[in-house]
């Protein structure tokens, strides 16, 4: 071992240890001065604050851990909504960017350039403070299709009231499992005999028929609960029944999906353009129909380019959803790193839990992506 190899490493290690030692020593002194002891025991204490919007039952008498769960679920909710809409808009715009129609291509380009060059926070503020504030009051709202009410207090949509919901869910799971088996079977048949099975139409059929059967024979029953206007005071109205989507959620989901969609659109465009022309021509020359060319040759190769950066965008969207704190949507950062921190004063514990939550999420996704990339990478002989 020569000194040239060891010295830099030792120095780095020394500096890191020194910095950490310095920080932890100070932290200890500071906490002693303020009379707090380090520990995560506070998580089981009563939280005694309320949260505006929660997916699980929660009020002030629940523990801080429950408050953490409420925040986490709200973060996941807005991320999932954002991811779904961002994917739909992104794919449509990405394909529009490739259109041979000049007007469509330009419109999509303007959309992409415009929305991705404006800070996300500004867009969230715009939707929340400017655009959604222009909506009518509950009592002046015209219903859309008779059942949807878009008001300044939020978006009121009808809710389904289910009987035997579990059987319905089992039927969907059964449909999905059978679709997976059919795909495997179809693939084997394709490889062994070269015969194509219409997987898509069978899948759609299964997805419709099995839940339908559960309605007919499984005793599943659903009715719709339409929101009804209700007077609270002289001039205060609201809607009762159905599901209320608060304006914070709407503006956050809207801004997140419109912003992230621009990046997904560029990923889609790059992916489809990344498939060389020769591939399409070769596929056409061996007699595949245009649909088969798209399904069997272009899409598998394009997806290989599209999926990794798109997953990255999903991750970005999830991390960006923490901007919710700016408009008081009760996500993880606002509920836990905001309100709970103010109440307990346990800065180190709470900020570390919040960071670890995001960190574990993104590291698990990146491990999954590494595995996926290895799996789909072209195996050169």
Partner 1 sequence: MNKLNFLQPDKNNLNTYLYTGTILVALSIFIVFINSFFKKDLISFLPGSISFFLPLILGFIGLHLIRIDYSGLKFLDSINKNINTNNFNAFLSLLIVFVVIKSLPPLLSWFIIDANIAGDSKDVCTGSGACWTYIKIWFNRFMYGMYPNAEQWRINLSFIALAFLGTIGFFATEKFKKYLTLYYVVVYPIIAFFFIFFFISGGPIFFDFSYGIIAAVISIIIGFLIPSKFKMYYFIIVPITLYILLKYVFFYEELIELGKLEALEWVETGAWGGLSLTFIVSFFCLIFCFPIGLFLSLGRRSDFPIIKYFSIGMIEFWRGVPLITVLFMSSVMFPMFLPEDMFIDKLVRVIIAISLFEAAYVAEVIRGGLQALPRGQYDAAKSLGMGYWKMHILVILPQALKLVIPGIANTFLALVKDTPLIFVVGLLEIVGMLNLAKTNPEWLGFAMEGYVFASVLFFIICYAMSKYSYNLEQKYKTER
Q: Which residues bind partner 1 (CB under 8 A)?
A: 5, 7-9, 11-13, 16, 22-24, 26-27, 29-31, 33, 99-104, 107, 113-114, 117-123, 125-126, 129-131, 133, 319-320, 322-323, 325-326, 333, 337, 341, 347-348, 351, 354-355, 358-359, 361-363, 366
CB of 355 to partner 1, least distance (A): 5
CB of 352 to partner 1, least distance (A): 8
Is residue 224 helix, strand or coil? strand
Token representation of residue 10: 């030792």
CB of 5 to partner 1, least distance (A): 7
Closer of 3 and 378 to partner 1 (Cβ): 3
Residue 303 near residue 372 (C-beta atoms within 8 A): no
Burial class (CB in 10 A: 0-12, 13-18, 19+), 333: buried
Token representation of residue 105: 């291509």
Q: Compute the half-sphere exposure of residue 213: CA atoms within 13 Å on the CB side of its CA.
A: 10
Closer of 30 and 196 to partner 1 (Cβ): 30
Q: Compute the half-sphere exposure of residue 137: CA atoms within 13 Å on the CB side of its CA.
A: 7
What residues are paired with 229 via a beta bridge? 239
Q: How far apart are CA 70 and CA 87, in angstroms?
A: 26
Closer of 171 and 320 to partner 1 (Cβ): 320
CB count within 10 Å of CB 245 equals: 16
CB of 155 to partner 1, least distance (A): 20
Token representation of residue 349: 């514990």
Q: How far apart are CA 247 and CA 135, in angstroms?
A: 10
Token representation of residue 296: 């069997």
Closer of 102 and 181 to partner 1 (Cβ): 102
Is residue 300 helix, strand or coil? helix
Total residues found in the chain within this entry: 381
Is residue 254 helix, strand or coil? helix
CB count within 10 Å of CB 301 equals: 17
The distance from CA 110 to its chain's CA centroid, rounded to whole angstroms, is 25
CB of 279 to partner 1, least distance (A): 23
CB of 10 to partner 1, least distance (A): 8
Closer of 131 and 186 to partner 1 (Cβ): 131
CB of 359 to partner 1, least distance (A): 4
CB of 144 to partner 1, least distance (A): 18
Closer of 299 and 325 to partner 1 (Cβ): 325
Closer of 204 and 342 to partner 1 (Cβ): 342
| SS3 per residue for 116-153 | HCCCHHHHHHHHHHHHHHHCCCHHHCCCECCCEEEECC
Closer of 100 and 285 to partner 1 (Cβ): 100
Q: β-pairing, 149-151 with 154-157?
A: antiparallel
Closer of 83 and 333 to partner 1 (Cβ): 333
Closer of 147 and 347 to partner 1 (Cβ): 347
CB of 65 to partner 1, least distance (A): 19
Shortest CA distance to 262 belongs to which of 83, 100, 108? 108
CB of 116 to partner 1, least distance (A): 8
């Amino acid at each position: 071992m020569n000194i040239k190899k060891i010295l830099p490493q030792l120095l780095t290690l020394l500096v890191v240890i020194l910095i950490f030692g310095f920080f932890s020593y100070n932290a200890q002194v500071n906490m002693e001065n303020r009379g707090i002891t380090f520990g995560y025991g506070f998580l089981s204490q009563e939280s005694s604050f309320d949260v505006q919007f929660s997916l699980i039952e929660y009020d002030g008498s629940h523990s801080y851990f429950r408050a953490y769960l409420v925040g986490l679920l709200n973060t996941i909710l807005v991320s999932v909504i954002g991811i779904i809409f961002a994917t739909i808009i992104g794919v449509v715009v990405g394909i529009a960017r490739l259109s041979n129609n000049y007007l469509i291509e330009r419109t999509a380009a303007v959309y992409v350039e415009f929305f991705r060059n404006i800070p996300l926070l500004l867009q969230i503020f715009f939707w929340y403070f400017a655009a959604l504030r222009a909506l009518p009051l509950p009592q002046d709202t015209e219903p859309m299709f008779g059942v949807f009410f878009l008001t300044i207090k939020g978006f009121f949509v009808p809710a389904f009231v289910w009987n035997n919901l579990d059987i319905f869910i089992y039927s969907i799971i059964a449909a999905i499992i059978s679709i997976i088996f059919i795909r495997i079977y179809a693939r084997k048949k394709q490889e062994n005999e070269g015969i194509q099975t219409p997987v898509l139409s069978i899948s759609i059929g299964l997805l419709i028929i099995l839940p339908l059967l559960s309605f007919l024979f499984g005793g599943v029953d659903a009715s719709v609960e339409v929101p009804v206007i209700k007077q609270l005071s002289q001039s205060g109205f609201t809607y009762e029944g159905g599901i209320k989507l608060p304006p914070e959620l709407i503006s956050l989901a809207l801004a997140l999906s419109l912003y992230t969609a621009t990046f997904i659109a560029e990923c889609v465009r790059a992916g489809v353009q990344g498939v060389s022309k020769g591939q399409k021509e070769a596929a056409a020359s061996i007699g595949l129909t245009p649909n088969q060319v798209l399904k069997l040759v272009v899409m598998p190769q394009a997806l290989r380019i599209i999926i990794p950066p798109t997953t990255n965008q999903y991750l970005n969207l999830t991390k960006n959803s923490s901007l919710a704190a700016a408009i008081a949507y009760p996500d993880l950062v606002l509920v836990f790193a905001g309100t709970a921190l103010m109440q307990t004063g346990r800065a180190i514990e709470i900020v570390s839990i919040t960071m670890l939550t995001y960190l574990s999420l993104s590291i698990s996704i990146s491990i999954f992506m590494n595995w996926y990339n290895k799996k789909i990478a072209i195996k050169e002989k």
